[in-house]
Amino acid sequence: MITVSKEDYLKAILEAESEGESVISATLAHWLSVSPPAVTMAVRRLKRDGLVRVKVKGGIRLTAAGRKIAGKLALRHHLIERMLAEIFGMEWYKVHDEAERMEHAVSPDFEAKLLYKLGRGGSCPHGNLSELESPKTRQRRGLLLLANALEGRAYLVSGIYERDRNLLEFLDARGIQPGAKLQLLARNYDQTLSIRTNAGAAVLGRPAAEKIWVKAAQQLV
């Protein structure tokens, strides 16, 4: 039986992989805000059910069956975020938390209605695709992290790490959201970035800049 808890663990593994992390028990404890013993018990059950594999050094990987379940939940989450933003007009920085609460309650029938209404393609309000991407696949699409962007260049924000509400509100207040234009003015001595957006000048630390994917303006069609 696939419980809500099992779904949460499987989706967390998929999401952590999409952020380029090597998934171990400590990763899941951090992502899900649970204790290490709780993770150990959960991973043991997932392994028993054939949903994950655990490597000799503790690395945790999804099996084909586990990846299918995680992908389905990620798609449902994506559709709920789009519904909240596109149909109900909820602010883009609020929809992730709301979708986390709703994703387990959506029936297959309602999910089918959302797919019909919104379509399978398209990005969520944070600029991310329905199928979670790795850093490498984003780079193949011509994207780069703002932390690695070139001084004096103009960029368009493509996608933003969506699992930190405080970060999203911080960025929104500075005019940084998917589709927004920004210019990287300078790389400062303290490793911060001076930028300019439609909201004005701002300074970002590296931790925030590493959560923002951008595309060079000259690449835009």
Q: Are residues 150 and 212 in the same domain?
A: yes
User: At 34, which CATH number?
Assistant: 1.10.10.10
Average pLDDT over residues 14-26: 88
Instruction: Give the pLDDT band (50/70/90) at residue 221.
Output: very low
| pTM of the predicted protein model | 0.90
Q: Are residues 208 and 145 in the same domain?
A: yes
> Does some domain include residue 125?
no
> Does some domain include residue 79?
yes
Q: Are residues 155 and 185 in the same domain?
A: yes
pLDDT in tens, 62-111: 999 999 999 999 999 999 999 999 999 999 999 999 999 999 989 999 99
> Does some domain include residue 214?
yes
Collapsed DSSP state (helix, strand, coil) of residue 47: helix
Closest C-alpha among 103, 13, 105, 95 to residue 59: 13
Closest C-alpha among 30, 138, 13, 11 to residue 76: 11
pLDDT in tens, 131-168: 888 888 999 999 999 999 999 999 999 999 998 999 99
Q: Are residues 32 and 82 in the same domain?
A: no
Q: Which range of residues forms the domain containing residue 146?
A: 138-219
Q: How far apart are CA 163 and CA 185, in angstroms?
A: 27
Q: Are residues 178 and 112 in the same domain?
A: no
> Does some domain include residue 199?
yes
According to DSSP H, which parts of the chain are helical?
4-18, 25-32, 36-48, 64-82, 95-102, 108-118, 135-140, 165-173, 206-209
